[in-house]
Amino acid sequence: MFEKTVQEARLLSPLNDFKLVTQPIEIRKDPLTGRRCRINLERAKRPKQAAKTTDMENIVEASLAKCFFCAENLEKMTPMFPEDFPERRIKVGTACIFPNLFPFGGFHAVGVFSNDHHLDPNQFSPKLLEDCFKGCLRYFEQVHERYPEIKYWHINWNYMPPAAASIIHPHVQLTADPDPTSRLQEFIRSSRSYFDREGSNYWSDLVEAERNKKERFIGETGSAVWITSFAPEGNSEVVAVFTGISAMTNLKKRGLGDFCGGLSRILKGYYVLGVQSFNMTTFSGPCDEDLSEYYLLNAKLVSRPNPKRFYTSDDGFMEKLHHESVVETMPETLAEKLREHF
Mean of the per-residue pLDDT values of the chain: 91
Name the percent of the chain lying above pLDDT 70.
93
pLDDT digits (tens, 9 = 90+) for 279-302: 999 999 999 999 999 999 999 999
Residue 112 above 70 pLDDT?
Answer: yes
What separation in angstroms does the CA of 50 have from each of 54, 60, 166, 187, 305?
10, 19, 20, 36, 11
Residue 53 above 60 pLDDT?
Answer: no
Range picked from 21-35, 117-131, 153-167 for highest mean pLDDT: 117-131
> d(Cα 121, Cα 263) in Å, to the nearest integer?
10
Cα radius of gyration (the chain)? 21
Sorting pLDDT into bands at 50, 70 and 90, what band is 60? confident
What separation in angstroms does the CA of 30 have from each of 125, 127, 188, 324?
32, 34, 14, 11
> d(Cα 271, Cα 184) in Å, to the nearest integer?
28
Sorting pLDDT into bands at 50, 70 and 90, what band is 178? very high
**Cα–Cα nearest to 22, from 12, 30, 32, 14:** 12
Fill in the amino acid letter for 331.
Answer: P
Higher pLDDT, 87 or 316: 87
pLDDT, mean of residues 227-252: 94
CATH 3.30.428.10 fits 28-341, yes or no: yes
Residue 147 above 70 pLDDT?
Answer: yes
Close Cβ partners of 174 (under 8 Å, ≥ 6 residues apart): 97, 107, 108, 109, 110, 111, 136, 139, 140, 153, 154, 155, 156
Fill in the amino acid letter for 54.
Answer: T
Residue 189 above 80 pLDDT?
Answer: yes
Q: What is the pLDDT of residue 311?
A: 65
Q: Are strands 298-303 and 19-29 parallel, antiparallel or unpaired?
A: unpaired
Domain ranges of the chain: 28-341
Sorting pLDDT into bands at 50, 70 and 90, what band is 241? very high
Sorting pLDDT into bands at 50, 70 and 90, what band is 317? low
